[in-house]
Amino acid sequence: MLGQKSRLDKAIKLLTPSLAQPFYNMTKSGLSSINEIRLRNQKYLTVIISGDEFYITSDGSITSDCNNALQITDEDIDYTYKTALRNTIYSFKREISLGYIITEGGNRVGFCGTAVLDDDGKNDTLKNISGISIRIAREIYGIADDLINDLKLLNGGIKNVLILGPPSSGKTTLLRDLCRQLGMRKRISLIDEKNEISSTFKSVAQNNIGNFTDVFDSYTKYYGILSAVKIMSPQLIVCDEIGTKDDLEALDYAINSGVKIIATMHSSNIDDAFKKPYMKELFSRKAFDYIVLLGTGLDLGKIISIRKI
């Protein structure tokens, strides 16, 4: 598996030389703190660090002042877009329609621009790319230790667990480490709809997700869960960002089939989760054994509450 420096190096190589150079001028601590690199056409080169966004200058300084920040050109956007797609745009029609692609090293490159809709009103492709985000893949070994120990997931058996947190609270990072540890002991089917947990590239997971983990890469959660139960006889299904009616029907099917579930959902607190339209029935039937809430900011990725249902 790749180290963090290698992942960041691969992200920087997606940039034009003029945008890449400032990163080579940065201190090691400055580089290691970067979570995302962002390009907005005719705006500025920025990075996201612990949820906050900063400008980058030509000498590699990280600043909140845009006066000396590097400006993004059409050529910068075009270069990164085509490089991320390995200069074979027509081979990645699905990824373009979804707005992101996983690149070598497991980094996720997201695009925004003008949507081109098909006859059903769904995104068919994108044109006039106006913004790009390069999210640096991170593996934090041991981040799931407290949850595994508190719920005795290895020694006392797997439970049905719902992990809550707002965007960028570390839910995906936590799932990744859960897969790594539990997947050395249990058969896991990982429903990786956005390919962010395994970061599979050319059929090989770029992240360590355990020896007994089978990846359903880019499946919708509905079809991924149904397929996993029927085909792979998992002891545990892991999936990210549940919330639609189809998601919950599939989870219900898996649980009724005797398969345990660990899933995440966007929610800033437990009470809000209980109010979500399609969650009420699952909660009322106690489909989950525990709800776990993650913090943000200084508590990023930390468990701040565990509630037994």
The CATH code of the domain that includes 51 is: 3.30.450
181 and 129 assigned to the same domain = no
- End-to-end Cα distance, the chain: 37
37 and 129 assigned to the same domain = yes
pLDDT digits (tens, 9 = 90+) for 266-283: 998 888 888 887 787 788
Please give the C-alpha separations between residue 188 and each of 138, 184, 236, in angstroms, as whole numbers. 21, 9, 5
Q: What's the CA gap between 278 and 137, in Å, rounded? A: 31
SS (H, E, C) 151-214: HCCCCCCCCCEEEEECCCCCHHHHHHHHHHHHCCCCCEEEEECCCCCCCEECCEECCCCCCCEE
* Residue among 206, 180, 35 nearest 105 (CA): 206
**C-alpha 77: how far from chain center:** 22
Question: Helices (DSSP H) in the chain: which residue ranges?
Answer: 4-12, 17-25, 28-32, 74-84, 93-98, 145-151, 171-182, 221-231, 245-256, 270-275, 280-284
Q: State residue 181 phi and psi, 5-degree precision.
A: -80, -50
Q: What's the CA gap between 221 and 216, in Å, rounded? A: 9
Q: Which of 101, 135, 169 is the last residue of a domain?
A: 135
CA-based angle 221:224:225, to the nearest 5? 80
Instruction: Enter the pTM of the model.
Output: 0.79
Q: Which of 115, 135, 155 is the last residue of a domain?
A: 135
198 and 126 assigned to the same domain = no
Report pLDDT for 94.
80
Domain assignment present for 9: yes
127 and 223 assigned to the same domain = no
18, exposed or middle or buried, with CB in 10 Å at 0-12, 13-18, 19+? middle
The CATH code of the domain that includes 217 is: 3.40.50.300
Buried-exposed string 180-199: b where 16+ CB fall within 10 A, e elsewhere: bbbbeebbbbbbbbbbbbbb
Asked whether 110 and 136 are in contact (CB, 8 A), the reply is: no
Report pLDDT for 38.
98
Domain assignment present for 140: no
Please give the C-alpha separations between residue 228 and each of 57, 64, 223, 255, 261, in angstroms, as whole numbers. 48, 47, 8, 12, 12
Domain assignment present for 24: yes
pLDDT digits (tens, 9 = 90+) for 184-204: 999 999 999 988 899 888 889
Partners of 102 in the β-ladder: 108
21 and 83 assigned to the same domain = yes
Number of domains in the chain: 2
- The whole domain housing 181 covers 145-308
121 and 155 assigned to the same domain = no
Q: Give the highest mean pLDDT range of 152-156, 227-231, 243-247.
A: 227-231
74 and 162 assigned to the same domain = no
Q: Which of 105, 135, 165 is the last residue of a domain?
A: 135
202 and 85 assigned to the same domain = no
pLDDT digits (tens, 9 = 90+) for 99-111: 899 998 889 999 9
Domain assignment present for 173: yes
Asked whether 188 and 205 are in contact (CB, 8 A), the reply is: no
Domain assignment present for 228: yes
Q: What's the CA gap between 75 and 188, in Å, rounded? A: 43
pLDDT of 10 over the 70 cut = yes
> By mean pLDDT, which of 19-23, 72-76, 252-256 is the weakest?
252-256
